[in-house]
Amino acid sequence: MLTKPDPTLTDDEQELVKGVAKRLLAHVHERLVLDWRHKAETMADVRVAIRDVLDELPAEPYPRPVYDAKVQVVFDHVCTVYGDDGASVYEEAVPVPTPEAPSASLSVDEITDSVVRKIPSDAEFAELVAQHLRGEAPTFARSIDELLDNDEDDAVEFKSTARWDVREERRNPALEDAIVKTVAAFLNCEGGTLLIGIGPDGSLVGLELDYAHVKPANGDGFVNWLTTHLSNALGAASVMRTRARIVPHAGAEICRLDVARSSRPSGRI
């Protein structure tokens, strides 16, 4: 959380940040009391604690805007993860996961060993595993196939194209606006994933039609256009809470855009 998606740290800085993260966890735990989320004073105290501890971060890779963003991200995370009894979801017993399909290079035993070793030392990973087991995995942690196995919902949207209107056979700015609306809505709610190149019924459309209207006419050009388009409409800070990737699917390419919930109202457009 303190290093993703940025900044990039040297080995020494990584060690320093790890120490800060440990102190942060201890300080936050000290301040979590019953019904803490309903007490403005306690919430303010938690925020101050986060600011104080993160103030120890090295100034070079954490200039003021990055520092402020990290404080907000950590505070949002604490609000989400810690219950009103002050107990963290990290403290729940997490059953050992049993991956159904191993990757090509790892056996099930190797995956199991790796997951079991990682859970006690990586709270975020443990929470993701727990969410998977509860069937509540956030969309960014779901595969394309998992997303396509279900219909669109509050956190999943499919768009056939982003620029080219198939029915009217022309570039249509309304489609570009629709992408912005979806991203803004995800930012202002619980986040979500937008798949571009997938029809509303889950059918494969691919990106070739849109590639003809970006430069260069490929995935790199498409992501570059998408980033600029969203940044112009919603602001760079909002776009920094998104991650766009071109992914192969069934012999074509589609764009996967994962959007995190925003730490502040976003995209009043």
Partner 1 sequence: MSKGDRVFFVRMNNSSRPMPNGELDAYLADRWPSASELAQA
Q: Which residues bind partner 1 (CB under 8 A)?
A: 40, 43, 47, 151-155, 157, 177-178, 181-182, 184-186, 188-190, 192, 263-265, 267-269
Burial track 198-212 (b if 16+ CB lie within 10 A, e otherwise): beeeeeebbbebbbe
CB of 153 to partner 1, least distance (A): 5
CA 5 to chain centre: 10
Q: How far apart are CA 206 and CA 248, in angstroms?
A: 9
Measured from the CB atom, is 38 or 109 closer to partner 1?
Answer: 38
Q: How far apart are CA 261 and CA 269, in angstroms?
A: 17
Measured from the CB atom, is 59 or 189 closer to partner 1?
Answer: 189
Contact 50, 28 (CB under 8 A): yes
Report how far apart, in Å, the C-alpha atoms of 3 and of each of 26, 61, 62, 78 are.
19, 10, 10, 17
CB of 122 to partner 1, least distance (A): 29
Measured from the CB atom, is 158 or 211 closer to partner 1?
Answer: 158
CB of 18 to partner 1, least distance (A): 28
Q: How far apart are CA 77 and CA 68, in angstroms?
A: 14
Measured from the CB atom, is 160 or 182 closer to partner 1?
Answer: 182
CB of 181 to partner 1, least distance (A): 5
CB of 177 to partner 1, least distance (A): 6
- Could you give phi then psi for residue 265, rounded to 5 degrees? -55, 135
CB of 36 to partner 1, least distance (A): 14
Measured from the CB atom, is 17 or 244 closer to partner 1?
Answer: 244
Measured from the CB atom, is 55 or 154 closer to partner 1?
Answer: 154
Report how far apart, in Å, the C-alpha atoms of 173 and of each of 51, 157, 179, 228, 229 are.
42, 19, 10, 14, 11
Between helices 40-54 and 11-31, what is the axis angle to 10°?
A: 160
